[in-house]
């Protein structure tokens, strides 16, 4: 039996706790330590309920522990790159939540250190491991849909985040739409060459005060000439709206919303079915598990990383271009990129 990978988690917020819960029940991992700057009473109650009361240490202690092979970086985005650099220099394999940083320049610096130290880095674009989106990817790769012409991605949150979060998140394009930018590259297996954005404040004036938008449509042009249209909203009153369509020369395929049941009720008055699942923790629960399992296989079996640091950097570059396009009202060209990002995207 292969020995489990001993891991530590840096950051015990919502996403850090989700990973902790998943790691605890996965035989490929042994969760040893968790680091959190402020250990609240509520956090301690959560930890005690999972027999993790003694797991809390300083983040640097995790990096200094020779038993720990890999770290999960689940802190605020503005600290990701620093922790990546420290973890790489400590010889730890790294799983980092998206985005790697709020600047593709800072990300480039962090990735250089990861490369120099020879450790693995996987970025947490978990939607790549969603079964429906993986099926779309397989259809594109197999050629069943012919040459892809149009990708349409709808991504709308059920409710807006708080102002404090918005001010520190990097804005809609870097925080929310970045998932869709990665999904577009993942499905197409090629690079984006141009970005054009229309944005508005229609949900809450708070976003305007934060120099952000809450509603947007972004058009991506790929190297082949194919087009992707992404629409985002911070508030869909009916639930978490997550749909993708790929239209090609030989047909189209659509991944619809996930719902609690598939039951459809038809009466003389109406035809009804369940609303979409309410939030990302429900919608992408399986994807969160699968991405971590893939990380374990990359470490133990030398399988390809499902979402590399370069993939993360490319999504950030698109997000930066989307923001620039919104501010200028003009399309933004993206320079050509190294081929490694394409091969990483095509690995699945």
Q: Taking Cα atoms as reference points, which of 96, 135, 156 lies closest to residue 313?
A: 96
For 84, the token pair is: 């990546």
Q: What is the pLDDT of residues 212-246, one digit of tens each?
A: 999 999 999 999 999 999 999 999 999 999 999 99
Q: Taking Cα atoms as reference points, which of 49, 25, 336 lies closest to residue 191?
A: 336
Q: Which residue is listed with tokens 């069943």?
A: 144
Q: Taking Cα atoms as reference points, which of 339, 278, 295 lies closest to residue 314?
A: 339
pLDDT at 346 over 70: no
Assess contact for 156 and 241: CB atoms under 8 A: yes
Pairing of strands 148-156, 192-200: unpaired
pLDDT at 347 over 80: no
Q: Per this entry, what is the length of the chain?
A: 348
The helix/strand/coil state of 288 is: helix
pLDDT at 339 over 60: no
Report the C-alpha gap between 171 and 159 in whole angstroms. Answer: 15
Question: Which pLDDT band holds residue 336 (cuts at 50, 70, 90)?
Answer: low
Q: What is the pLDDT of residues 59-89, one digit of tens each?
A: 999 999 999 999 999 999 999 999 999 999 9
Q: Residue 345: what pLDDT?
A: 37
């Amino acid at each position: 039996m292969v020995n489990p990978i001993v891991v530590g988690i840096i950051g015990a917020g919502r996403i850090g706790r989700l990973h902790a819960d998943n790691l605890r029940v996965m035989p490929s991992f042994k969760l040893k330590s968790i680091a959190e700057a402020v250990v609240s009473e509520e956090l301690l109650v959560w930890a005690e309920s999972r027999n993790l009361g003694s797991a809390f240490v300083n983040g640097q202690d995790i990096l200094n522990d020779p038993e720990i092979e890999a770290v999960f970086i689940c802190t605020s985005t503005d600290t990701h790159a620093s922790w990546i650099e420290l973890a790489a220099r400590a010889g730890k394999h790294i799983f980092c939540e998206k985005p790697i940083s709020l600047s593709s320049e800072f990300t480039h610096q962090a990735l250089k250190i990861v490369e120099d130290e020879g450790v693995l880095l996987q970025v947490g674009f978990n939607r790549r491991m969603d079964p429906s989106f993986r099926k779309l990817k397989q259809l594109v790769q197999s050629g069943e849909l012919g040459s892809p012409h149009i990708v349409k991605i709808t991504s709308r949150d059920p409710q807006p985040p708080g102002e404090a979060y918005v001010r520190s998140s990097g804005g809609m394009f870097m925080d929310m739409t970045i998932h869709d930018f990665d999904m577009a590259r993942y499905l197409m297996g090629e690079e984006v060459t141009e970005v054009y954005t229309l944005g508005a404040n229609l949900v809450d004036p708070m976003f305007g005060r934060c120099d952000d938008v809450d509603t947007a449509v972004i058009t991506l042009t790929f190297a082949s000439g194919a087009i992707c249209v992404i629409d985002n909203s911070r508030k869909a009153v009916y639930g978490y709206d997550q749909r993708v369509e790929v239209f090609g020369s030989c047909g189209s395929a659509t991944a619809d919303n996930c719902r609690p049941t598939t039951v459809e009720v038809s009466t003389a008055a109406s035809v009804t079915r369940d609303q979409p699942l309410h939030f990302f923790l429900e919608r992408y629960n399986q994807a969160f598990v699968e991405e971590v399992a893939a990380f374990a296989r990359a470490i133990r079996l030398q399988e390809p990383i499902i979402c590399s640091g370069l993939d993360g950097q490319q999504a950030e570059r698109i997000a930066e271009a989307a923001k620039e396009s919104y501010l200028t009202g003009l399309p933004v060209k993206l320079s050509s990129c190294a081929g490694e990002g394409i091969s990483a995207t095509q690995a699945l």
